[in-house]
Amino acid sequence: MAMNFFFRKSKKNILSNNKKPKTDSDNLFSLSSACLTLETKLGLKSAGKCGLSLKNVSGTHFNEMKDEIRRFLDISKSDFELDYRMVIDNYDYLWIILEAKGMEDILAGIAAVGDTIEEKGFCRQLLVSVFEFINMEEIGDQNHQHYYLVYNYKDNIFYPFVPQGNQSRNTENEMKLMATVGHEIPFERDSSLWYPLWNLPF
Amino acid sequence: MSFVAKTPSWQRRDTGLTIRIVLSFVILAFLYIIFLTILVYLGLDFVSIAVIASIMIVAQWYFSDKIVLWSSGAKIVSREQFPRLHDVVERIVVSNGLPKPKIAVINTSMPNAFATGKTPKGSIVAVTTGLVDLLDTEELEGVLAHELTHIRSRDVLVLTLASLFSTIAWYLMQFGFYGGGMGYGGYGRGDRNNSGSAMIIVIVVAMLTWIISFLIIRAISRYREFAADRGSAQMTGKPVKLANALMKISGNMRRIPTKDLRQVEGLNAFFIVPAISGSTIGNLFSTHPPVEKRIQKLMEMEASMSY
């Protein structure tokens, strides 16, 4: 495995030299293969939930964008077995929460919503997308630990967030997440930028 | 910045302890060099100086643990005084077939640990009370296993040998320059200035040799730290625990923010560049590799443990 590990690392380096810079949604979609790694190495499964958040803005343009997203998600509902809701939190951030069985469907939905937001010119308002994972052994347990991978739209990079109780975090599990998928997805190495998101609305 | 909490003193790295121990040995080395220089100046022959030098090296080697204990203020403690510490050490030594070292404690709130000893049997592991208070049992196990790896791989011997080379280099140079210079001594009047400048050259070159070997010793020492981390991970099977302990000891735990992103974003603080950690010069002189690198290596080990 160690060999494999280094081989993959060096292969990535060689390839990245002659490849053109990745587009943002490539970064986002890299999560779909990382999901398998999380499952086999840490026993973590996608909880089937993801929330995209953006700063709430008043005005007709913003409302039009919300309507368009609603229309798109209503159509997708039947095609992808996708469910969604919109919530505004205490910080006045709009959360678009998607629920679907497969990570592929969630990612496709999140990417499409992100594209719509960008098209309508609210790119700067985009904050993060938060993907939830759950330990397969803890499924059904009411007090199970929530594992989150946060995708930061400013830097197009992922970082871990594992809350533990109220306002404290399990750094050990966060570091485990980094160790497991840090090479597979664009990952924030500087832990001083791993800003938490307490009391997520999903 | 309001959201970056100031690191409390007990979480800062304990450089005081390291400085005290290193300083003791540096002073010793200087006394040593001065003493030998006087012997050379007195015109002793090569063989007797070699004998005296080797006696001094052996003595330093023999008393090394005493010097370390004395300069750090560590006291050997019994099982009754620190049962948890003895339990953790015993668990590691029994499962890895190592002899049990003596355990010493330094009464300070700075979290730190070190190992010393000439042979694995007669070795001592010392921890500060701050370390015992700060870490949970598994993290303590990781740190102690790290120190036990130093003992197992005889790192004290390795470093003594490494510093021996610097002594020998200095010694040979002394004879090459100064021994030759002394030969001129009896010839003429103008030689006094000559031997004076020769003396300066000798001292300068001796210093250079010493500084270079000092840096090399630092480099070896840093490499041994990585090796000890690896050994600890193998002994305990939990690299993440040692990584967590390192985070706690170095105060890096504080660097993981607790303030909500949405709140921080509101303050527009998200774009502030964090302080650059560790300069290159600092790295050159330090005996320990940067904590970030050690944690990264430990986490890579953790990752390679599944599949």
For residue A193, list chain B residues with Cβ-Cβ distance below 8 A: 257, 274
pLDDT confidence tier of residue B278, bands split at 50, 70 and 90? very low
Cβ contact A196–B247 (<8 Å): no
Interface residue of A152, A172, A183 to substitute, partner B, most B CBs within 10 Å: A172
Contacts of B181 (CB under 8 A, 6+ apart): B194, B195, B198, B199, B202
**Is B2 contained in some domain?**
no
Q: Which of B265, B274, B307 sits opposite A41 (nearest CB)?
A: B307
Asked about B141 being catalytic, the answer comes back as no
Choose the most confident range, by mean pLDDT, from A109-113, B41-45, B268-272. A109-113
Closest CA to B121 of B141, B80, B93: B93
Distance from CA of A78 to the nearest CA of B (A): 33
Cβ contact A176–B252 (<8 Å): no
pLDDT at B268: 46
Q: Which of B243, B260, B274 sits opposite A195 (nearest CB)?
A: B260
User: Hey, where are the domains in chain A?
Assistant: 25-193
Give the DSSP H or E segment for A169: strand A168-169
Please tell me the distance from the alpha carbon of residue B158 to that of residue B155, in angstroms, as a whole number. Answer: 5
Count of domains observed in chain B: 1
User: Which range is least confidently modeled, A12-26, B37-51, B216-230?
Assistant: A12-26
Mean pLDDT over residues B72-78, rounded? 89
Is A7 an interface residue toward B (CB < 8 Å)?
A: no
Each residue's pLDDT tens digit, B165-177: 666 666 666 665 5
pLDDT at A2: 43
User: Does the structure show a pLDDT above 80 at A170?
Assistant: yes
Contacts of B194 (CB under 8 A, 6+ apart): B181, B184
Each residue's pLDDT tens digit, A53-105: 999 988 888 999 999 999 999 988 877 778 999 999 988 899 999 999 889 88
Mean pLDDT over residues B263-280, rounded? 47
pLDDT at B175: 63
Neighbours of A91 (CB within 10 A): 17
Could you say which of B80, B90, B138, B147 is catalytic?
Answer: B147
Of A108 and B292, the structure prediction assigns the larger pLDDT to A108
pLDDT at B177: 58
pLDDT at B190: 46
How do beta strands A83-88 and A93-99 pair? Answer: antiparallel
| Helix/strand/coil for B271 | coil
For residue A150, list chain B residues with Cβ-Cβ distance below 8 A: 261
Mean pLDDT over residues B29-35, rounded? 77
Interface residue of B139, B252, B261, B263 to substitute, partner A, most A CBs within 10 Å: B261
pLDDT at B270: 39
Cβ contact B244–A179 (<8 Å): no
Cα angle B48, B53, B59 (rounded to 5 degrees) comes to: 130
Cα angle A99, A201, A42 (rounded to 5 degrees) comes to: 60
pLDDT at B17: 62
pLDDT at A94: 94
For domain A25-193, say whether CATH 3.30.465.10 is its number: no
Each residue's pLDDT tens digit, A135-156: 988 888 888 899 999 999 988 9
Each residue's pLDDT tens digit, A23-64: 567 889 999 999 999 999 889 999 999 999 999 988 888 999
Residues spanned by the domain of B282: 9-305
pLDDT at A4: 46
Of B3 and B73, the structure prediction assigns the larger pLDDT to B73
* Whole-complex ipTM: 0.73
**Is B247 contained in some domain?**
yes
User: Does the structure show a pLDDT above 60 at B157?
Assistant: yes
Mean pLDDT over residues A2-8, rounded? 44
Closest CA to B73 of B118, B1, B137, B21: B21
**Is B45 contained in some domain?**
yes
User: Does the structure show a pLDDT above 50 at B243?
Assistant: yes
Each residue's pLDDT tens digit, B100-145: 999 999 988 888 888 887 777 888 899 999 899 889 999 999 999 9
User: Does the structure show a pLDDT above 60 at B57?
Assistant: yes
Note the helical H segments in B82-190. Answer: 83-96, 129-134, 137-152, 155-174, 180-184
pLDDT at B142: 93
A80-to-A105, A116, A150 alpha-carbon distances in Å:
6, 18, 23
- Closest chain A residue to the Cα of B253, Cα to Cα: A171
What type of residue is B117? G
Of B70 and A18, the structure prediction assigns the larger pLDDT to B70
